[in-house]
Structure 1
Amino acid sequence: MNELQEPFELVKISENSFKSKHFLTKPHPSVRGVYGGNLAGQAVLVAIRTVPKGFVPHSLHSYFVKAGLPDRDFFWEVERLSDGKSFCNRIVKALQDGEVKYVAQISLTTKNSMKQQQSAYEEFKKKVSSGEADEDDDILPVSKPVHFGRPYPKWLGKYSPDEIKINPRVDNRHISHKLPPEMTDLELTRKDEENTPATERQLSYFVKWGNQNKPDLRAADLDEFRYTGLAFISDSIFLTRIARVLRIPNLDHGQMAFYFSVSLDHIIYFHDSDFDPTEWMSFSFNAVRFSNDRALIEGEFFDSKGKHIASVIQEGIVKLGHLSEKAKL
């Protein structure tokens, strides 16, 4: 068990109940509740611990009900909605002092690896060539894998993570970010963005699970924590970047937000199982709607080779206050 995995470890109480082994942390000392990525990451781990071997998460749909306290134990309750041959469904609730703080419905599947799909297809084609199988059947046992996804973000195509300095704001809690110059310098994107609707301004950065100063930490040593790690980093930064989306001037867009924000819900789609969140990944997102002090964000994760491996959707409360007067729509 390494330093990345240990904070998320669970104590099993019964078949359908667990307790967090450690208190969960806040994203910043000034924030009231624990970091939402902690809850999403541990919820995924809880779900994995209640399904047969071979099932992995492919989606999480969750709500932040109340602020989770950093000095109280979290207890996790599981409702087993279904157990099939290819899919399992779980409802996972996080409680403190008997109150539900977070609830998630998590779907898990046995078929979520593009690499395995491709290998199975290639093996099938070999059998066809040797006469062991017939590809003229109406229903093929193995069909050719078809994949498409979002293109790799334009900003990050210019850079290697090695070229960009790490952003120090959250490096002390095992999550690391590298922001390209286009994220922080409005002049670099003036031509492209000023005549572009706010919903089409795509922001991007590099992110990984782990501390830049401790490169020996590896999540891949224990497969189930791969999904915990991705869920953990999936709730970082983007809700606090609405001021950047709106191109509000005279702010240091590399720092913490200058307004109140809190997550309401969180959705993750794991499109593939072949990824390692302890390597530098890319995240790109758009704010697709902002109204009634609520921002709706859609984003995509790309692995270190540029493959689209997960998508994230989140709505959160964002109160811009006086900053709204300078918004560039």
Structure 2
Amino acid sequence: MAKRVTIFDPPPLDTAKAGIENILELTPMQDIGPDVFTNSRPLWHPPGARGVYGGAVIAQCLAAAQRTVPEGFTVHSMHCYFVLAGDSEIPIIYHVERVRDGRSFATRTVQARQRGRPIFTTTLSFNKDDSGGKIKVEHSSQMPSVPPPKDQPPSKASQSPFEVQRIRTEFGSEPIEQRRLVQWCRVRDKISEEGGHRAHLSALAYISDNYFIGTVPRVHKIPRFSSPTVIEKALKALKNPSDLGSDFVANYINEVAPGRQAEIRKLAESHANGTAIDARKISSIIRSEDPREIGMMVSLDHTIYFHNPRAFRADEWMLCVMESPWSGDGRGLVQQKIWSRDGVHIATCVQEGVIRLKQDEPKAESKL
């Protein structure tokens, strides 16, 4: 019996909505319960990753919880744990529990399950709009001064629902914990009026997981794609030469040390035109810059604080700044601040993940 990626046949794409809205669409499962939902469409499994893109599960949990709170309540925080890798070849079931409904706050928990087991769990808190009173204690982090995003048409080759413009910064001698990764992000297409501010919040949650824990190896200048196995999986994701203009290049090839992209791009182009993958050659190019190699990198938890949930649009440019204050004991911590283009601090995110390097284990002595 063939596997089903979704429980129900996916509905037709709604061209009046942005691509992210279609991707995050949920189908109620009223026969099971009033607050049970499932993904309406297949979810993305990034090349080389252990499971589905974490941002999709985060965003769909938020979308499910938002369906259960009254109008006038807006999410202000969600605390998530990745329990198991999500399988992109089977459906995900989202179970929402209405923990509490108060006058000013409402609390929800959501479990994402596959094969009857939780793969992801989150607790969300919603605040009643304008419940803080007229006199408030207020302050906010200021957006750093960076070059504005470039006005350029989105790549037609890319299948990603959002686009990223990284602001390249060559790290110098500053301490690792002071190094920052800066990028502009926004959703492709315009989010519909029907989706409203809740669709923008779900889209922001989706984007927030973009290369988040990957900040740790980047500030350490450790190439992420140095293993021949990982590179081979990533290159196999190329379906045709036009894919080289997509986010594959931006997210993978351009992560290597400066000055080596052209050499690796040439090898990737040869593969896209039918030449066999020479992953070990690519690996040797990357590792010549740094002998360290990522053995395992996976997210453990993810927290989002929504500061000004109605003061932004996810389909307009947002500035994301990531830094890692600590790593050790096989784990790493990353903080991310997000501002709207006009300087409103709209969210702060925190993520911890497993960061393990491949160890040079001595070979076991053979027994006589």
Q: TM-score, normalised by structure 1?
A: 0.76
Q: CA deviation at 1:245?
A: 1.0
Mapping 1:216-227, distance limit 5 Å: 216-218=189-191, 221-223=194-196, 224-227=198-201
Q: Deviations over 1:150-191 (max 9, x none)?
A: 2213xxx2311016898x8x9422121111121xxx2xx42x
2:71 matches 1:84 = no
What is the aligned counterpart of 2:129 among 89, 97, 111?
111
Q: Which runs of 5+ in 1 are unaligned?
A: 118-140, 211-215, 324-329
Any conservation in 1 of the 2:161–2:187 contact (CA below 8 Å)? Answer: yes
Any conservation in 2 of the 1:226–1:277 contact (CA below 8 Å)? Answer: yes
Bigger drift between 274-283 and 13-22 goes to 13-22
Q: Which amino acid aligns with 1:7?
A: I
2:134 matches 1:142 = yes
Q: CA deviation at 1:238?
A: 2.8
2:147 aligned residue: 159
2:87 aligned residue: 69
Matched residue of 1:4: which SS?
A: helix
What is the aligned counterpart of 2:204 among 222, 227, 230?
230
1:125 aligned residue: none
Matched residue of 1:162: which SS?
A: coil
Matched residue of 2:80: which SS?
A: strand
Task: Flag the 1:25–1:253 CA change in 2: closer, same or farther, 3 A.
Answer: closer
1:255 aligned residue: 255
Any conservation in 1 of the 2:21–2:191 contact (CA below 8 Å)? Answer: no
Mapping 1:162-181, distance limit 5 Å: 162=150, 171-181=158-168
What is the distance in 1 between the residues matched to 2:36 and 2:223?
Answer: 49
Q: Moved runs in structure 1, 4+ residues, more than 4 A? A: 163-166, 248-253
Task: Flag the 1:163–1:51 CA change in 2: closer, same or farther, 3 A.
Answer: closer
Percent identity of paired positions between Structure 1 and Structure 2? 29
Q: CA deviation at 1:108?
A: 0.8
Task: Flag the 1:16–1:158 CA change in 2: closer, same or farther, 3 A.
Answer: closer
Q: CA deviation at 1:7?
A: 1.4
Q: Which amino acid aligns with 1:245?
A: V
2:342 aligned residue: 305
Q: Which runs of 5+ in 2 are unaligned?
A: 1-13, 227-251, 257-285, 287-292, 361-368
Any conservation in 1 of the 2:43–2:88 contact (CA below 8 Å)? Answer: yes
Matched residue of 1:173: which SS?
A: coil
What is the distance in 1 between the residues matched to 2:199 and 2:326?
Answer: 32
Any conservation in 1 of the 2:191–2:199 contact (CA below 8 Å)? Answer: no
What is the distance in 2 between the residues matched to 1:48 and 1:308?
Answer: 22
1:269 aligned residue: 305
What is the distance in 1 between the residues matched to 2:223 and 2:352?
Answer: 24
What is the distance in 2 between the residues matched to 1:253 and 1:240?
Answer: 15
Any conservation in 1 of the 2:96–2:108 contact (CA below 8 Å)? Answer: yes
Bigger drift between 248-257 and 67-76 goes to 248-257
Matched residue of 2:108: which SS?
A: strand
2:218 aligned residue: 244
Task: Flag the 1:164–1:239 CA change in 2: closer, same or farther, 3 A.
Answer: farther
Any conservation in 2 of the 1:244–1:253 contact (CA below 8 Å)? Answer: no
Q: Deviations over 1:76-95 (max 9, x none)?
A: 11111100111110110001
Task: Flag the 1:237–1:164 CA change in 2: closer, same or farther, 3 A.
Answer: farther
1:48 aligned residue: 66
Task: Flag the 1:164–1:298 CA change in 2: closer, same or farther, 3 A.
Answer: farther
Matched residue of 2:255: which SS?
A: coil
Q: How many residue pairs are counted as aligned between the two chains?
A: 276
What is the distance in 2 between the residues matched to 1:60 and 1:23?
Answer: 24
Any conservation in 2 of the 1:63–1:265 contact (CA below 8 Å)? Answer: yes
